Structure 1
Amino acid sequence: MTSVNTGLNPYAQMGSAYARAQATQPTLASVLAAADSGNQPDSSAATNLTLSDAARAQLASASTSKNFTTVTADARSALDGLYAAAKVKGPVGDDGKTTIDLSSFDRRSLFAIATNNGGKFTPDEQKVASTELANRFNDALAPAAATSKLTGDFSSLYKAALDYLDSASSEEKATATWSAQRAAVLKGVQATQQNPTTAPTGIANDPVAAYLAQNANGGTTATEDISTVAKNVRATLDAQAKAATAAGKSSQQADLSSIDNRSLAAITLNQDSLFSTRESYAAKQALEARNRASILAALKQSQTSGDPTQLSLGILNTYSSMSAEERQAVNWTPAFRDNAVANYQSASRIMSMLKGA
């Protein structure tokens, strides 16, 4: 870090912790080995009606390496598999509620369904997939929206939208909708570079403005009860153990790499006593490692851009993306958040002075 950035960084006292995160992260096996070895994994029955790990891997592979026709066929098969598992005939029940969970589907597969590629999908399937895609966009913007409410800086919100649009598949990018939205978001990025404290208005096809009109506060969209999350992840760990035993690898440690952060928090907090001490310890280590990685990414962005506010914005975006349980699990308190806001404000004022504003 340069002398200027160091002077603007109130997290300097945490420097040693961040530096340690740059070292090779321990594997889950080593984490478990270092924990109390006297406890064995607990068991609890639970059912989570989503894609299996194998099916999820198949879709992920299709999304990155297969042609769109194959992606479409795999999505069709995956939907049919979900219907069979749920013992339903379609994605919407007689009560108007969805019968399956599409959160396991990758974006390219959802796009194939939503656009009825190859004429293989029903109107209800298209509608449910379109809703899931809209939720993905909202989820991508939610942390930055919450941060902008705290800081009054809308630049990171438009950058989050641009990053999301740019991560689309080539098929999605070929649509007129994507082109119009990206052009609008790019205008928003340019406007917030000139004046980050004001949300741009009057930009045609601006999806960020539409989002703010309905979700001004942003923040996490987690709604599932944490006890349900805990039961589902308990079932996932039990399934891993069962598969390892069947493969003659009973000593194989659990794999937490594919488990989401809120599930890791549920294991860490262990409010319903479904997990062993070793499992809770390993989950906490994995969750903290992910948070360190996000802070290091923000620190790198701050150093690369020469803009010290990027560190605070990155930390606040991570904080805003967390559920209450995730914050509790890693002790990210409101006071920590407020310190990050204060640092952003101080750094922003100094940067304005240096620019002659």
Structure 2
Amino acid sequence: MSAVIGAGVASLLGQTFSGQAAGAYGQRTVTRTVDAGGTAGATSTSAAGQDRGGATALSLSAEARAYLATMASSADATQSAAAREKATAARGWFDAQYARLGIGSALVNGQTAVDFSKQDRATLAVVAAGTAELFSADERQAAGAALQARFDAALMPHAVIARHTGDYAGLYAAAADYLGGAGAEERATTTFTLQSKAVAEGLAAARAAFGRAPATGNANDPVRALLDRTAATPATKPPAGASAATVASAARTMLDAQAARARDAGTELVFDATRQSGQKADFGPFENRTLAAIVQNVGDAFSPEEVRAARAELSQRTRTGLLDAFTKADGDPMSRNAALLGQYLSMSGEERAVLGFGQDYADGILANHRLLSSLQGLLGGGDGASLLSYI
């Protein structure tokens, strides 16, 4: 799919670069679009070509490219006195924070160590941009992270709506509104120029392909970055000994991430293996205890379809484990008992409850082991592997 941003600088660019009343949280937005000559411009978009694996090829008109070049040139020009003034004030603020907190950097162990909550957006922008070369790499990184967090907080409600309605153009329009609320200091930064261009292109692509997130392939696209972050499988797992509620919460987050990826791709997450359409749920990253928490529906957080699918996956894993135990025993009853008891002891309490492996299961294995040991003793055989090492 190809989308061309029209000759009179499109409203896509107007939303991004012109003066606006910010509407990132869904407020009514008043927008004045301006074309390259400074007069009111109209939107003109066209779509042609073939869809290539979900990606949308974009092109800007010559006038739009000239407009963006002007913006970039302005951003690279001598920094304004207002920006330098904010940078100087921010430098003093950092130094005061370090003295008060007894630290020497804005990052400690990779985490932001200063409170940016009372710093305005313009200040964060000039720090992140390294205005007047007054800031260290850590300070720039910390300010950039704070700036990104504010963008994410403003856009996340729109991302949720987009994933449930398929209207990703609305999400990109909200991003354009948010960027349109930037002050002169932020607009003068290279980051603002690159992000604004990326959002304009993303909006054009989203309008050309309803129902899925555009694969812009642009590293400067803050909307795509937000979608990818919130659809990523959590890197950390609940620690050993975590409560059932904590495990269930982690499971809910993992399923939600898969559902988000499916919606961004224009489809849905499905739990029925016989379905011919949709993106099949992947339980590969789920530990057995996590699956058991879904089956138990801890906190009533899971749908009947999710519960059934998790039960089927957990049951299949257990059957595979039992078969493996029998296979490794190679016909030796003592070794088989040891393997079965070892598997039982490796299960969490939730797994045992869901699968019906109670204490009587372990007692039966131990009783069988004692009987076999007694018989071997009577017959003069060895006493086999002791199960005491498993208890």
Q: Specify the TM-score bucket, using the shorter chain as the normaliser.
A: 0.3 to 0.5
Which protein has the bigger strand share?
2
Larger Rg: 2
Q: Using CA pairs below 8 Å that are at least 6 residues apart, which structure has the higher relative contact order? A: 1
